[in-house]
Amino acid sequence: MSILSGKAAGHDLFVYGSLQDPQVVNVLLNRVPDHSSAVLSGFHRFKIKNRLYPTILPDSTGKVTGKVLKGITDDERKLLDDFEDVEYDRKAVEVVLTDTSEKLQVGTYVWRNKDDPDLYAEWDFEEWKLHDREAFITATKKFMEERKLPEAKTRIDTFKTFFKQDDTEDGKPLDS
């Protein structure tokens, strides 16, 4: 919880990938919470083969830039947990706010498989915005539509269908 959010209740969450984008957050939460730029030390952000989103893993010399979303409700946190799906664990971490140097205890999503051979290179938010943002937003909208169905698909299944992700495809969106 953060006093900075102007609320005594709510959760603060460090995001470092697609959830830095206000449009993605708005699709998921139907609002854009207050947020601040922050740095998470002791982690590295990776690209993931055939995925449009990154992950982080502990790395004693690493630093990851991102944002802290402030005042996330319990229901919103549950939705974000569902969105991150089984690939991630939500962990408590300490970040430093860029503008004030204040340290905050927040949650963030860490990749479960620390030995994943599909992790490589540094993921870049600006590159993502140029090349993958629109397709990601469309797939996220599809995920939210799927959640309303009696037998809703997980985010992983929704994205695999949308991006034709399997061992032989190139991870590009299906033609509508």
Write out the residue range of the structural domain in which residue 79 sits: 3-124
Looking at residue 27, what is its pLDDT?
Answer: 98
Please name which of 99, 88, 108 lies closest in space to residue 155, comparing C-alpha atoms: 88
CATH number at residue 99: 3.10.490.10
| Domain assignment of residue 138, yes or no | no
Q: Which residues carry out catalysis?
A: 84
Report the interhelical angle of 74-84 vs 133-147 (nearest 10°). 110
- For residue 115, is it within any domain? yes
In tens digits, the chain (176 residues) has pLDDT values of 333 444 446 999 999 999 999 999 999 999 999 999 999 999 999 999 999 999 999 999 999 999 999 999 999 999 999 999 999 999 999 999 999 999 999 999 999 999 999 999 999 999 999 999 999 999 999 999 998 888 878 888 888 877 765 444 444 444 43
Helices 74-84 & 22-29, crossing angle to 10 degrees? 110
Number of domains in the chain: 1
Q: Is residue 162 in a domain?
A: no
Domain contains 114: yes
- The reply to whether 152 falls in a domain is no
